[in-house]
Amino acid sequence: MENHSTHNHLNQNQSQYYTRTAQVLHWVMALIFISAWGIGFYSGNF
């Protein structure tokens, strides 16, 4: 039981770090995607 509890605590810390990293990557990718879509949309129409 002790080992299982420690393992869960380790996963929780990794998950918290990963969530923060994933959020940053998510917003960077979102900005790139929106920018690329906008450039393609405007260059296609004008």
Task: Determine the pLDDT at residue 30.
Answer: 97
16: phi then psi, degrees, rounded to nearest 5: -65, -45
**Chain Cα centroid distance, residue 29:** 8
User: Distances in Å between the alpha carbon of 10 and those of 21, 30, 40, 41?
Assistant: 17, 30, 44, 45
Dist. CA 1–CA 34, nearest whole Å: 48
What does the pLDDT look like over 7-24, one tens digit per residue? 555 566 667 767 889 999
Task: Determine the pLDDT at residue 8.
Answer: 55
Task: Determine the pLDDT at residue 26.
Answer: 95
Q: Which residue segment(s) compose the domain that 44 sits in?
A: 1-46
Give how many domains the chain has, as a whole number: 1
**pTM of the entire predicted model:** 0.53
Dist. CA 6–CA 28, nearest whole Å: 33
Dist. CA 14–CA 1, nearest whole Å: 20
Rounded to the nearest integer, the mean pLDDT of the chain is 80
